[in-house]
Chains A and B, each alone.
Chain A
Amino acid sequence: MSSPSLAQPVGRRDFLKLTGLAGGGFALAFYIRSGGEAAAAETGDFSPNAFVRIARTGAVTIVSKQPEMGQGVKTSLPMIIAEQLEVPWKDIAIEQGDFDEKKYGGQSAGGSQSTPSNYDNFHVLGATVRTMLVEAAAQTWGVPASECRAEKATVIHTSGKSLKYGQLVAKAATLPVPAKDAVTLKQPKDFTLLGTRISQFDTPKIVTGKALFGIDVKLPGMLYAIYEKCPAFGGKVVSANLNEIKALPGVRDAFILEGNGKVKELVPGVAIIADSTWSAFSARKQLKITWDEGTVVNESWESFLKQAKEKSTQPGGKTLRKDGDPDAALASAAKTVEAQYSYPFISHANLEPQNTTAHWHDGIMEIWSPTQIPSIGTGMVNRVLGIAPEKIKLHLNRAGGGFGRRIGADYLIEAAAIAQKVNAPVKLTWSREDDMRHDQYRPGGIHFLKGGVDAKGKVVAWKNHCFTFGEGGSPGSGGSLSGDEFPGRWIANYQADQTMFDTGWPMGPWRAPGSCVFAWVMHSFIDELAHAGGRDPLELRLELLGEKDDMPAGNAGATTKGKQAAASYNVARMRNVLKFAAEKAGWGKKKFAKGSGAGIAFHFSHRGFFAQVAEVTVSKDGQLKVDRFVTGVDIGAQVVNLSGAENQVEGSVIDALGVLMYQELNIERGRTVQSNFNDYPMIRITDAPTKIETHFLKTAFPTTGLGEPALPPVAPAICNAIFAATGKRVRQFPLSRTDLRWT
């Protein structure tokens, strides 16, 4: 076997190796210090690795290395260490680590990878420190370590005598750090913390309004900046009334930045530096800029949509996969269905607008930023501004939402480029309008599908021509369909083609890239075929999945999405979680009156297996209400923080419902029409379902992440329920484009 399947059980060693290869993982050797370095001499603390510090007072501090953006990782990963360390959760303090991958290993938060990349290592980290403390007590007492156990930050000997961790710090600091093989891990049956509900460590600060987020940063002598970019993507500044701006109250400076020619990096614009945010915002209203908008003004969503319709029947797309003879199978099918599905570009709309504070001092670029993948930002600062990596210091702030947006570092490089010209710390704050008009958008897409079923309703043919959007010649993040995307590989006569429209529009990963739209298209169309063939939607899905337990990777394309989909698909896990969710929901057992109904969908992404059932009511005037939403989750053997896990699933369900109901950007003449929440509505509490149930199916597989994989099947489950309720098929996002009224 060349590489282990992500979906198969693996031993701990294999898993460490695997996650290291997958990126974001790291070898223990990098961050476990050698014995001589175990003590931090200056403080007298015991700190045998970069993540745990125990003071002589007994105070325990755990460093969280991953960026926190609401996924809960600042709480959940330290919980793993605390479990193994045997320290009560209430006695632990957590610090956010600065960006330092030499010290901490990978610090990227994206792709729901923080948990799988760190889970096993963090167990070893906590257990290593506990082992040393036990050994310190054993040596102090002159007894074998095997006669001692750790409990509640105390080592207890079988005789009953005990020493608190703080009392063992001096001794433990003189001991060699044991090899990881010499460390005994606490076993899942003995866990008392993992799997329980723990409120986020930052909760006390959140509920009392303490400074936490990037936008809250304030430094002595700090100035405030805005940065006006061309409304048309990538447009250049020809001239600006800088002298008039500089004369305005509170304004300290105004200048033009040329940019580096890349629409997702340092975009050209005008910076205004002022003594307060409001002075900067006010001065901005007086800006008069002549732009060179470039050729992007020839690109509009509506015109691409029209072109897609014209080209849908013509050959010319790139064939991603072809199995059997789909045309012949369609010709001989008992019934065929044709449908067009489309979804628009959407914004991430993090509630905390993009911002970064930077200070260029002493040859060092010091940065405070809410970022998901800090190395992208520092790499950009190095490349674009020519500052050596060792001269870049990056502090990580809590981010007011990520959803993939803060993988982009355009706002960070803007702040650094501005700071290079300002002799003071400077905080760049994007307005909401900046944020919406200069997002790195989730690409829209259009799919033209044809499917056929035989006389028994079995799916015998499937063709899809997908139109996607590219930037600089490659599809935008999540824009490229994979030949392996379900149900590719499962249908004997199958073809997927793709045509890309190249644009100058900035695109980026949006929560569960690719999956967040493809699951809707595929599971909606599967539902169409189920109804065409007179089959129960669950039963047809189980038939489609088939009897094989594993589906090897096929000939997927070389995109990131392709690589992920190319991972062998554990069909048994999907079948089991699908049956599990159906059982929890009571699928097929309920009778619904006209206007109400249930729908089902599933999806595998980000190493997680998810199946979902929606129950909805559509009023006669076409208003949707989701009455109940049931999720079956297989993310492996262990839920880390049950509270955070449920919160992620509930949030994903409502987020996906909101995208379905409301979100839509128009891009006209190379610019985004919408600018704020008045013309880009987001879901509010009034549309949130009252019953969202999350059921975890525990399996013997490695623990994986939850930031994304619950989202993809939500929209198809709901749309399939809408069809069951009304006979109306939703083939366009957002929902307002479909008339759901019925009589």
Chain B
Amino acid sequence: MKYTLNVNGQSRSVDVASDTPLLWVLRDSLDLVGTKYGCGVGMCGACTIHLNGVPTRACMTPVSTVGKMKVTTIEGLAAASGKLHPVQQAWSDLDVAQCGYCQAGQIMTAAALLKDNPKPNDEDIDGAMAGNLCRCATYMRIRAGIKLAAGLTTAGKGGAQ
């Protein structure tokens, strides 16, 4: 089946089976590999993208259901100028990642949280991020990254402080 998708502000055409999860359309057909496969059942959050701004599991989203919705992936989160989204910048400043595999999903979830709730408290942060597994367990820095991006803290020396 042919589909025309709106991905990161661009119109992209693909020809795939209708039950193909958006995850594999992005990765295999559109070469947008920043969205990761972790579990295929919506339990890990590594494939988190935005559909019309709402954080969504790409592994659980058949391409046939996307329609005209705006798909934003980690590759489309920074401004067109290349200026990083505040969450991406905070992740860089604080060296959040270890292996980095889950971090695109973490960043997409965090960016959606801050859009809805620009000054989240600790409970808000844990609640919003609970669906995203980090096997390296960088959760301390994920919290710190969100606070930094929200302007609730300053970067200081960098690292995990």
The reply to whether B100 and A432 form a contact with Cβ atoms under 8 Å apart is no
Question: A208-B75, A209-B74 in contact; A218/B33 too (CB < 8 A)?
Answer: yes
The reply to whether B140 and A692 form a contact with Cβ atoms under 8 Å apart is yes
The residue on A at minimum CB distance from B137 is A654
The reply to whether B139 and A429 form a contact with Cβ atoms under 8 Å apart is no
The reply to whether B122 and A432 form a contact with Cβ atoms under 8 Å apart is no
The reply to whether B136 and A644 form a contact with Cβ atoms under 8 Å apart is no
The reply to whether B88 and A684 form a contact with Cβ atoms under 8 Å apart is no
Measured in the bound complex, the distance between the Cα atoms of B132 and A218 in whole Å is: 26
Q: Tell me how many residues of B have a C-beta within 8 Å of chain A.
A: 67
Please indicate the chain B residues that have their CB under 8 angstroms from the CB of A689 in the complex. 140
Measured in the bound complex, the distance between the Cα atoms of B38 and A685 in whole Å is: 17
Please indicate the chain A residues that have their CB under 8 angstroms from the CB of B159 in the complex. 197, 642-643, 646
Contact segment of A97-105, A199-207, A512-520: A199-207
Contact segment of A259-267, A271-279, A297-305, A734-742: A271-279
Asked whether any CB of chain B lies closer than 8 Å to the CB of A425, the reply is no
The reply to whether B95 and A203 form a contact with Cβ atoms under 8 Å apart is yes
Residues of chain A in range 420-466 having any CB-CB distance to chain B below 8 Å? 429, 431-432
Q: Tell me how many residues of A have a C-beta within 8 Å of chain B.
A: 70
Contact segment of A347-355, A594-602, A604-612: A347-355
Asked whether any CB of chain B lies closer than 8 Å to the CB of A250, the reply is yes
Asked whether any CB of chain A lies closer than 8 Å to the CB of B102, the reply is yes
Could you tell me the distance in whole angstroms from the C-beta of A72 to the nearest C-beta in chain B? 7
Question: A197-B158, A207-B107, A690-B122 in contact; A432/B40 too (CB < 8 A)?
Answer: yes
Could you tell me the distance in whole angstroms from the C-beta of A241 to the nearest C-beta in chain B? 20
Contact segment of A146-154, A395-403, A493-501: A395-403
Could you tell me the distance in whole angstroms from the C-beta of B57 to the nearest C-beta in chain A? 12
- Out of B31, B94, B133, name the residue touching A682 (CB < 8 Å): B133
The reply to whether B38 and A249 form a contact with Cβ atoms under 8 Å apart is no
The reply to whether B100 and A216 form a contact with Cβ atoms under 8 Å apart is no
Please indicate the chain A residues that have their CB under 8 angstroms from the CB of B38 in the complex. 351-353, 432
Asked whether any CB of chain B lies closer than 8 Å to the CB of A240, the reply is no
Please indicate the chain B residues that have their CB under 8 angstroms from the CB of A278 in the complex. 16-17, 20-21, 24, 28
Question: A209-B32, A351-B44, A429-B37 in contact; A197/B138 too (CB < 8 A)?
Answer: no
Please indicate the chain A residues that have their CB under 8 angstroms from the CB of B88 in the complex. 207-208
Question: A276-B24, A677-B41 in contact; A688/B139 too (CB < 8 A)?
Answer: yes
Question: A647-B138, A647-B141 in contact; A210/B97 too (CB < 8 A)?
Answer: no
Residues of chain A in range 50-86 having any CB-CB distance to chain B below 8 Å? 69-72
Asked whether any CB of chain A lies closer than 8 Å to the CB of B103, the reply is yes
Asked whether any CB of chain A lies closer than 8 Å to the CB of B3, the reply is no
Measured in the bound complex, the distance between the Cα atoms of B24 and A680 in whole Å is: 24
The reply to whether A650 and B95 form a contact with Cβ atoms under 8 Å apart is no
Query: 4 nearest interchain CB pairs?
Result: A209-B34, A70-B99, A400-B101, A197-B159
Known contacts A206-B104, A400-B135, A432-B38; can you find 10 more A-B pairs with CB under 8 A? Answer: A69-B99, A72-B98, A203-B92, A209-B32, A212-B100, A213-B101, A350-B99, A352-B36, A651-B138, A690-B143
22 examples of A-B residue contacts, CB within 8 angstroms: A70-B99, A71-B98, A72-B98, A197-B95, A199-B95, A203-B100, A204-B92, A206-B103, A206-B104, A207-B103, A209-B74, A353-B37, A400-B36, A400-B135, A403-B135, A647-B138, A651-B138, A655-B136, A658-B137, A678-B41, A688-B140, A690-B122
